[in-house]
Structure 1
C-alpha cells in the first residue's frame, strides 16, 4: 500500500443519501438507509424514489429497496441470525410519498440466512413511538430498545420524550411493555 498516495477512485454510489449504513452478514453487502425525500439517485419499480439501497462491493451493483414506513431517525441493531432490525422512525410525509406510512412505532427487518435481501415489515410494532431510539442486542439474543421522542418535537418539553425501554425477543418482536427508566427522567432532555 502506497502511504504517499494523494488520490482515490470513486467506484460506486450509495444511490440514496446515507443516513445509516451497515454491513450485512454473511454477504458483506452494504445497506444504506435514508428518510422519505423528494430526491434520490435510485428509483423503485413504481417510479417512486428509493430511500434504501443495497450495495455489492464485489460487483459495484446497487439494488433499490422499498420501505413501507418512514425510517428517518430510527435506531438499529442485529439479531443473532444476522438480520438487521431498525426500530422507530418518523411520521409519514404523505405529500412527498403517499406509499410510505408512519414509522414512529415501526419494526423493520433486512436479510435472512438465505441471503435474500429486502425489507420485511410484517406489521410488528414497538410498544410506543420512538424517534431517535437507541437499540442494542443483548447476550441472550434479545434486543434492548430505549428512549427517543414520542413525536420528534422539542426535546425540552417533557411530554415529547419517551423515558422508557422495551425488549424485543430473539425474533425482533416487542414484548409490548414500556418500562420507565429513572435516569432518562432525571436527565431530561439530555
Structure 2
C-alpha cells in the first residue's frame, strides 16, 4: 500500500492555507475601515492580521514542501516559484505559483514598510486582492476532489465571505464620500 501521508499533508495544508488567507484578506478589509471596539481595539485587529498572515505563510510552506516531496506527482522545486513551467497541470499549478509569488511580494514589502514610501506600500498591498482569487482558483482547479463535496462548499464559503467583506468596504467608502459631498 502506498504511503499517502504527503498527499494528506499537501491537501490539508492547502485547504487550511486557503481558510487563513481568506481570514487575512477579511482582516485586511477591516483595517482601513477603522473597525474596532473597546474589547477589540484596532491595533489588536492589525496584530491579528499580521499573525494570521505569518501563519498562512507557514502552512503554505508545508503545502509546497509536501507537494514537492511527494513522488506521486512530478512537481519540481522550480515549479513552485516559476509559473506555468510544470509538466503537471501547468495552468493550475502555475496559478498557485503566481499566488505564492504575490504572497512573497506582500511579505517582502510588508517587512520593508518602514523603509519604503507609504503610498507605494499601499499600492503593492492591493496585490492581496489579486492573490486571493488566484489562490482560490488554483485550489479548485488542481485539487483532486475540490469541485465536489465539502472542499467545494469551503471554497464557495470563502468566496462569499470575501465578496461580502468587499461589498461592506465599498458601501462604507461610498457612505463616507456621500457624507463629505453633502
TM over 0.5: no
- Give the alignment's TM-score, normalised by structure 1: 0.25
Say which structure is richer in helix.
2
Say which structure is richer in strand.
1
- Give the alignment's TM-score, normalised by structure 2: 0.26
